[in-house]
Structure 1
Amino acid sequence: MGEENNLVLAGAGSGKTSVMIGRTGYLLESEQATADEILMLAFGNKAAEEMSTRVLDKLNTDTVKASTFHSLGQQIITAVEGRKPSLSALATNTMALDQFLESSFNELMSQDAYKAVVVRHFLYFRFEPINPFAFNTLADYNRAVKDNDLKANQGELVKGYQALLIANFLYKNGIEYQYEAKYERQTKTLDFRQYQPDFYLPEFGVYIAHYDIDRDGNTAPYVDAAKYLEGIEWKRELHETNNTRCIETFHYEWTEGKLLQQLEDKLSNFGVDSHPLSNDEIIAQLESAEDRPLAELCALLGKMLKLFKASNMNGELFTPEEQTLAPTTFFQKIFERILRLLSNKHQTANDLNRMKSAQQLMMPLYMMYENHLLENDDIDFDDMIIKATQYVENGDFTSPWKHIMVDEFQDISSSRADLIIALRNQSKDCSLFCVGDDWQAIYRFAGSDLSYITAFKKHFGVTQTTTLDMTFRFNNSISDIASSFVTRNPEQIEKDISTFSQVSKPAVSLFRTNGGNESQQLANVEIVLKAISALKSESTILILSRYSFTLPDTQILERFEKDLGNIHLTAMTMHASKGKEADFVIVMGLEDGKFGFPSENQEHPLVDVLLPPSQAYPFAEERRLFYVAITRAKHRTYLIADMKKPSSFILELINEAYEIELDEFGTSDAQLVHQSVHCPVCEIGSMMLRSGKHSDFYGCSGYPRCNHIENGCQECGAVMQRSGERKVCTDASCQVSVPICPKCGAELVYRKGRNGNFWGCKNYRSEGVSCGYSVSSVETAKVKGFE
């Protein structure tokens, strides 16, 4: 490893830190470097302390100590300025920073101009615009709506972004409305649900129907255009027949930027009076809302502020003359730059207006924060690295180091990378030695940029790459499963990991459950703990989950330890488990949803634009996080999954035939069923058993956005699954089937006609929108009543 640049790709448990220590010892022993020419860098105080301790233990010297990037920055600034920089209390105390931001935000909220910007944000810019025509499948569109959790200011969940704009417009103008209220006349039949226009204005007896068509009458790619247009005509005839008034709005009005203006004109023409709410009235309602939207906004702006500082946009591409401008002028230039950056990703008028709103919200808060630092002659951690980099680049600081070594390099951010490059470029003889694992890159949300390790040569020049491919932590079963899983993403660097420990049976076990309340979930954990207790005495066990609120609390853990006697438990999030290990691992929270795993809780677009580019592969970082969780175990990993709403990762493990243990805890037919029965309407939900007034039925897990329901099997009550031209009972011992209409997907019903009996579509009706498909006979094997 004599190259100028060395990258060591080290698998989990392969001894990354030991390589750093060994490299240090080699340099000292061979007299290629003295202690003061070696710079060892780690990402946190604890990691740096542990590395320094291991240097002392293994090399018997305390002359080489590991440093964090922040302490390195402080060292450089002190050397240049002749005094140690004053670190702001806001940098070292998260609670103090949050309190400062909250106090500053509240101060801004006393200003009418800022209050108006906040109101405009909540009315029109709180959510990312979702264009239904931009998706190729209904599932993709519905997933986007679900991920964004579209909630109108009045509080109801809506099924589309344009419906959200209409709802908030009515709310702002003091027009009482009901979302998807049932039409005043009965239109429900045995085959059709009651007609529910998008909006109803009870004070004026006016309906609003919004149609997702362009000016040429085209629909989104996944919508049956003929059927959709037929439905529009049926609704128009219905209103005309019943003499009910209906305002129509259209998708193309939104794309042309005229939706709300034209809605205002149409409301006026229908005699609908508006009584606009004042900004103070809207703010008062936001302050009293249960979901605390103002606190959410303040937290969002605080997160943007931190990422903005960490990304070094405040100094990037500005001349020294510009950087010496008065703070207010310079901050204005900064935000003009970020607006241009945002505009590169968001080209429509709707998007640009939203970005301008973000600028108007963010800039005053950012200026208050920066002025606070200036007034107190303080800097924060980001300043510490950025300022140090500038001193190195300008030649104010001369680097004494000829060997720079960085641990956990997959966690590097752009500002830290800039500092390393500046130090290395000062000397032709400087060697860069970086150790990391792209498979364990899980901190993009904090600014880590994976490209620095996956495209190392591009950033740092000619590179000698070495792979540590032997792990001493886990066995071959865990390795094979975890490696196969993470490398489904083609952008991950290929590594062939070998294991010191070999087993002949699967060491990843799936416990399929029926979900349940918190008590039942803890009971499931206890079942796994008893199984572990029987396997090995005095075991260490990590209980991991994506989110901390889904983990057992300390009292529960203590009870488990007391009851079983020979186990030692630690519960933490998957992110916190990085670098940890235990005899056994239990992974909880493996279910679908916003706070499931993989997490569908998307980064806010205004935050996402400040982060390093993400990989195109779906859930790429969540996939790496799952790899980290699985590979914390020395002997065996247990996955507890709710099969009523299973994680897509769990379904992949099952459907792609990974060699995992499926039978350790037994599995009911119901648990097998739920892993594959998806809602045929929205295509993203699962059909779940629900109880009605008169009988049980199956409803989509996406309710209330998707209200699709189906009856279970007439014979045994199990959920039915569509297979070709039939719906088949999923109970293997039953398998009764029902023929379905090839035209619209509804069930076929056996009917009597004037010319004989026939099978007709359940969606047939004598007038209005109807499916007239019929057939004289179908294959009746296992059809109820035709056995």
Structure 2
Amino acid sequence: MKLSASKLAQWCVQGDHYSIALEEHHLVFESKHLTETVPFAIWDGQCRLSRGLLWGKLTFIVSPADQPARSISVYGLPWFELSSLVEQLTASYQDWLAKQKNTFMLVEHELVALRDELEGHKGYLRDADLQQWVSKAGIAVAEFGVHPQVASIANPALYQGFFGWLQNGSAMREAKNTQWRETELERWSQWFDGIESSPLNPSQRQAVLMDDNHNLLLAGAGSGKTSVLMARTQYLVASEQTTPERIVMLAFGKKASEEMAQRLASAGLRNVEVSTFHSFATKVIKALTGNAPVLSALATDEEAKLSWMTLWLAEHLTQPAVEKRWLKHLSQWKLPGLNAERKLAEQAHEPRLHKWLWRQVDLLIQQNKSQAAMRSQVNGDARAESEFALVWPLMRSYQTHLSQANEVDFNGLIKEATKLLLRKSATFSAQYDHIMVDEYQDISPSRMEMLEALCGGKRERAPSLFAVGDDWQAIYRFAGSDVSLTTDFLARFPAGVIRYLDVTYRFHSQIGAVANPFIQVNPRQLAKPLNSVKTQKKKAVHLVSSETLEDTLTKLAASKGERDATLMMIGRNHASKPEGFSSWQARWPSLNIVFVTAHASKGLEADFTFLLDVNEGVFPAKGQSEGLEVAMLSVDGEMEHAEERRLFYVALTRARQACWIFCHPEKPSVFVKELWQGDYPVMSKLPKKALEFEQAPPAIEQSAMSE
């Protein structure tokens, strides 16, 4: 049946709809420029009739699944024919609706079961849980031919639940998880009070409950990340969400993994798998191939490395073409340990050259790129291009040696395990529910790929990744770590969750007022509050001349008397260790004086710290502006001294009570100048003229200063 406006009426309504037709389970509307078909499934079944001076108007409400509800009106219809049309439209719709209700009743119980899967879900509802359900529910709706409008009439409660999750799942998931967290915090309140030596603070408790597919916990210096790792592991077992053997805890070093294993064993959790990345990779390879990988002596034995490298250099540097290439390089740039005035092959045993070459080989292997891709990366940097030409043949010979011996090095362990996991992750990873990573800011691209393979794949519920780290303390770029894997966490895992521990128990507010804004000058560092439990008004960071080092030490010792204290002297490198260090240790044993490099200070703390030789060209270290290492490790758009700034932040935050920064009075570091001119709460006994910048110091974000 079709009803249309007359020619005159069509002219009067101009661009509006002037015709309506009833087809099988559809309404068809016509206007001058458009024909629109509306299925009964999105029509509410109502015909809204109104009369004008000459003609009638019909209005319909339609609700497309992916759009807001809207009205469609048909104008200029002959009034005396409208009642008959409305009766036919309504009867046709009711007939269709009755058949749909009968169909719905046959599958209603299955939709109820699907709804109850989510509403009855125990624990945290992960994003992947919801996406799997949405996929399954969408298939069911299409297969059963169920229309939302029919469900809303036949079973309003089911409609609100089932289709609510389909259409507004993210908001409903957040509400459900918020309620779950509140319940868990109340239920486990006393347990959180006693699980560690001190009650967990609110941000630590929230961190323990993180359980999405990809979780990043930003844990600032002294904020108790180890307590959270231990508490979370025990909570997962105590709450019966998993068992100890289904938890993996990964660390970067053997010492760190052993310490975590000991703490867990003390808590009665001996079956938690605590491992380094390399040990875990070895397990993966053995489990999925049936054979344990053979680790090359070149990866573990310094004598073997020395012998192999010496032989390779002696053999290749005697070749005229190779020698010519190396001499050409030496005519423009230096190489550690090599003298162009002597026969190159005679210097094949030089340790400094070996150290540099192994570093470059390791760097190239970590890139995991083709020769063409790496050539492109160094293109335009003449020194980098030349160094690449020297090192590439060495790297290829090294890889050939490993392949022929059927051996791997540490990089090879990670890569081989990743390949196997990509093929068999669903099988291997099914034995785990939770993957935890300590010091995540030190992650390298190859380790990240292994983690993704371990936590990915097609399975009912993949392991949850719980990464704990602090991008402010990412200081191992030279070893292959990539801080962007932390700072760009949500770009890699869009549905991931980031939380932070907002309280530090190490240093008081005056040290925090210097260190926290200083690191956040770099806009690429993730912003977070880090509030000190202890507050004080007296400034605790001192800028002083290196000439006063012993006098400052004498005064500090006198102020402490016979009371025990700890003093950590920190240098950018070992060259900063004072000549009188041993005599000072003997003279003031109650101070427990130690010396460490800035990198080695990570994870340590002391009552007082002396930062030594914070001079121009020393700290921040004077970096090269060209060369293979610069080309391979450079980050587009990163601010100057970004890595050194993080390293300086690490050194600053080792002190519990006070920190002295020593520098040459006429050659202070740019960091010293920034601390003086940048409105930081520091005390200075340096000449003001030496502290002046030739240009304005880096800006401090106001938000960082107010934390």
Query: Shorter-chain TM-score: what band?
Result: 0.5 to 0.7
Percent identity over the alignment is: 35
Mark the structure with the bigger radius of gyration: 2
Q: Is the 8 A contact 2:440 2:468 kept in 1?
A: yes
Q: Which of 277, 284, 303 does residue 342 from structure 2 map onto?
A: 284
CA-CA distance at 1:95 after TM superposition = 5.5
Partner of 1:552: 578
Q: Which residue of 2 is the match for residue 418 of structure 1?
A: 449
**Matched residue type, 1:338:** M
- Alignment of 1:439 with 2:439, yes or no, is no
In the alignment, which residue of structure 2 is the partner of 1:246? none
| Superposed displacement of residue 615, structure 1 | 5.4
C-alpha displacement at 1:395, in angstroms? Answer: 1.8
Q: Within 5 Å, which residues of 2 pair with 1:581-596?
A: 581-593=605-617, 596=618
Distance across 2 between alignment mates of 1:401 and 1:454: 27
Q: Does 1:70 align with 2:94?
A: no
Structure 1 residue corresponding to 2:366, chosen from 310, 327, 337:
310
Q: Is contact 1:335-1:359 (8 Å) kept? A: no
Distance 2:376 2:672 in 1: 41
Q: Equivalent residue of 2:586, what SS?
A: helix
Output one character per residue of 1:539-596: Cα deviation in whole Å (capped at 9) or x when no partner: 111110101122136xx43321221242101111000110011111110011102xx1
Q: 1:460 aligns with which of 493, 498, 510?
A: 493
* Structure 1 residue 640: Cα displacement: 0.9
Residue pair 2:577, 2:595 contacting (<8 A) in 1 also? yes
- 1 CA distance for matches of 2:280 and 2:441? 19
Helix, strand or coil for the counterpart of 2:318? coil
* C-alpha contact (below 8 Å) 1:389/1:419 kept by paired residues: yes
The alignment status of 1:529 with 2:553, answered yes or no, reads yes
Correspondences of 1:604-623 after superposition (within 5 Å):
605-611=627-633, 613=635, 616-623=638-645
User: Aligned equivalents of 2:278 and 2:403: distance in 1?
Assistant: 19
Closer, same or farther: CA 293–600 of 1 in aligned 2, 3 Å: farther
CA offsets, 1:269-307, max 9 Å, x none?
A: xxxxxxxxxxxxx55277899xx9987665443222111
Q: Distance in 1 between matches of 2:603 and 2:465?
A: 23
For 2:401 and 2:301, locate their aligned partners in 1 and report how far apart those are by CA, in whole Å: 15
Map residues 111-122 of structure 1 onto 2, 5 A cutoff: 111-122=319-330
Q: Distance in 2 between matches of 1:388 and 1:382?
A: 10
Structure 2 residue aligned with 1:382, among 407, 411, 430?
411
Q: What's 2:224 paired with?
A: 15
State the distance in 2 between where 1:419 and 1:16 align. Answer: 23
Give, in whole Å, the separation in 2 of the partners of 1:3 and 1:370. 39
Other-structure match for 2:241: 32
> Superposition pairs for residues 388-787 of structure 1, below 5 Å?
388-395=417-424, 398-399=428-429, 400-426=431-457, 427=459, 428-513=461-546, 524-536=548-560, 537-552=563-578, 556-593=580-617, 596-602=618-624, 605-611=627-633, 613=635, 616-663=638-685, 671-676=687-692
**What letter matches 1:421 in structure 2?**
E
**Equivalent-residue separation in structure 2 for 1:109 and 1:443 (angstroms):** 32
Residues in 1 aligned to 2:421 and 2:693: alpha-carbon distance in whole angstroms: 60
What is the CA-CA distance between 1:103 and the residue it aligns to? Answer: 3.1
Residues 288, 372 of structure 1: alpha-carbon distance in 2 compared, 3 angstrom cutoff: closer
Q: Secondary structure at the match of 2:378?
A: helix
| Residue 262 of structure 2 corresponds to residue 53 of structure 1 | yes
Residue aligned with 1:429, SS: coil
Report deviation, 1:29.
0.8
- Letter matched to residue 120 of structure 1: K
Shift of 1:614: 6.0
Residues 119 and 283, structure 1, Cα contact 8 Å, conserved in 2: no
Q: What amino acid maps onto 2:681 in structure 1?
A: E
**Deviation per CA, 1:54-81, whole angstroms, max 9, x where unpaired?**
1122x22211142110001000011122
Return the alpha-carbon distance in structure 2 between the equivalents of residues 80 and 611 of structure 1. Answer: 33
Residue correspondence of structure 1 range 331-350 to structure 2 within 5 A: 334-343=370-379, 346=380
C-alpha separation in 1, matches of 2:444 and 2:316: 32
Determine which structure has the larger helix proportion and give its number.
Answer: 2
Report the secondary structure of 1:590's partner residue.
Answer: coil
CA RMSD of aligned residues (A): 2.8
- Post-superposition shift, 1:398? 1.8
For residues 304-344 of structure 1, give each alpha carbon's deviation from its aligned partner in whole angstroms, at most 9, with x where no partner exists.
2111122222xxxxxxxxxxxxxxxxxxxx4334223333x
Letter in 2 for 1:401: Y
The structural deviation recorded for 1:481 is 0.3
Aligned counterparts of 1:107 and 1:119: Cα–Cα separation in 2: 16
Q: Distance in 2 between matches of 1:104 and 1:542?
A: 43
Q: 8 Å contact 2:314–2:345 — kept in the other structure?
A: no
| Closer, same or farther: CA 392–288 of 1 in aligned 2, 3 Å | closer
**CA deviation vs aligned residue, 1:117-153 (integer Å, no higher than 9, x gap):** 11222235669xxxxxxxxxxxxxxxxxxxxx9xxx9
Residue identity opposite 2:328 in structure 1 = R
Q: What are the superposed Cα offsets for residues 590-627 of structure 1, whole Å, 9 maximum, x if unpaired?
A: 1102xx11111327521123336365211111111111
Contact 2:652 2:659 (C-alpha < 8 Å) held by counterparts: yes
Query: Unaligned 5+ residue runs, structure 1?
Result: 128-148, 156-281, 314-333, 516-523, 685-787
Q: Does the Cα contact within 8 Å between 1:441 and 1:450 map onto a contact in 2?
A: yes
Secondary structure, counterpart of 1:473 in structure 2: coil
Measured in 2, the distance between the counterparts of 1:109 and 1:288 equals 9
Aligned positions of 1:262-281 closer than 5 A: none
The 1:643/1:19 distance shift into structure 2, 3 A limit, reads same
Give the Cα–Cα distance (whole angstroms) in 1 for the partners of residues 384 and 501 of structure 2. Answer: 45
Partner of 1:84: 292
Instruction: Flag structure 2 segments of 5+ consecutive residues without an equivalent.
Output: 1-209, 697-707
Contact 1:421 1:460 in 2 (8 A): no
CA distance in 2, matches of 1:565, 1:359: 50
* Cα distance change, pair 359–533 in 1 and its aligned pair in 2 (3 A): closer
Task: Specify which structure has the bigger relative contact order, considering alpha-carbon pairs within 8 angstroms and separated by 6 or more residues.
Answer: 1
Does the residue aligned with 2:609 lie in a helix, a strand or coil?
strand
CA contact (8 A) 1:448 1:612 kept: no
Contact 2:244/2:269 (<8 A) preserved: no
- How far apart in 2 are the matches of 1:648 and 1:450? 23
- 1:85–1:424 CA distance, 2 compared to 1 (3 A): same
Corresponding letter in the other structure for 1:387: E
Name the SS for the 1:386 alignment partner: helix
Provide closer, same or farther for how the CA distance between residues 627 and 661 of structure 1 changes in structure 2, counting only shifts above 3 A. same
- How far does residue 31 in structure 1 lie from its aligned partner after superposition? 1.1
**Counterparts of 2:599 and 2:590 in 1: how far apart (Å)?**
27
Partner residue of 2:150? none
